[in-house]
Amino acid sequence: MAGAMAAGGELESVRVTRVLRDDIILGRRRPGARLVERDIAAELNVSRLPVREAIRTLVAEGIVVARPRTWAVVREFTHRDIQDFAEVREAIETLIFVFAAERHDEAGIARIRGAYERELEAARAEDSEAARVAAAEFHEIAVELAANEMLGELIAVFLTRLRWLFGQHDDLLAMADEHRIILEAMTARDTEALRRIVPAHLASGQSAAERRLAERGDLSA
């Protein structure tokens, strides 16, 4: 049953969604890979129903494409997909970081600094998964510090695709350094600097993602 509980009290459908989402974001399941309910159910030792629910969730999050009467596949992003996402993301995330700079307290800055420090440590250790998780946390904490419910709801729509984009960035030290620059501007409440820095940071991530996917042949025209 989809509502069955896995070990630790987590719903099976939630666990399956989390596992598949992480596999896609971290590149374990490549663009175009088939997501066959029967195979995934056997792999994760669950029934097919929670797998079906997980796939529906990931379709809604924009990283899986449903193909009726066959199977779902991991989404193959196009240049246009990434450009469209980048345009919307720039407007929303610039506001998020500006508001976070204006509204943060010492505890909030300590939290986002902690995410940056974990990211830098993982990048130096060449632990790509840990670095990308911490990079995503950096952005997620900024959303909380912005203290704007509507902005939070808007970015939530793109959160999984945002994490996917971090998963394509292969220069982990460069990404961490860009977060350092953003952190310094936030700490100083320098909103004018952030209006310049954040779009440049996002453009850097977009270029890195497109370059890496093109090299791997995972980016559609």
Mean pLDDT of 170-191: 95
Of 22 and 208, which is predicted with more confidence?
Answer: 22
Mean pLDDT of the chain: 89
Which residue, among 66, 49, 21, has the nearest Cα to 161 in the 3D structure? 21
Cross-sheet strand order for the sheet of 34-35: 34-35, 72-74, 64-65
Asked whether the predicted pLDDT for residue 41 surpasses 50, the reply is yes
Domains of the chain, earliest start first = 12-74 (1.10.10.10), 79-216 (1.20.120.530)
Confidence (pLDDT) at 143: 95
Degrees, nearest 5: CA angle 170-34-30: 5
Mean pLDDT of 194-210: 88
Q: What is the share, in percent, of the chain residues with pLDDT greater than 70?
A: 92
Report d(CA 80, CA 193) in Å as an integer.
29
Degrees, nearest 5: CA angle 10-154-96: 105
Mean pLDDT of 38-42: 95
Asked whether the predicted pLDDT for residue 184 surpasses 90, the reply is yes
Distance from chain centroid for Cα 135: 9
The mean-pLDDT minimum among 29-33, 112-116, 169-173 falls in: 169-173
* DSSP E strands, 60-109: 64-65, 72-74
Q: How far apart are the first and last CA of the chain?
A: 40
Which string of b and e fits 90-108 if b means at least 16 CB within 10 Å? beebbbbbbbbbeebeeeb
Which string of b and e fits 190-214 if b means at least 16 CB within 10 Å? ebebbeebbbebbeebbebbbebbe
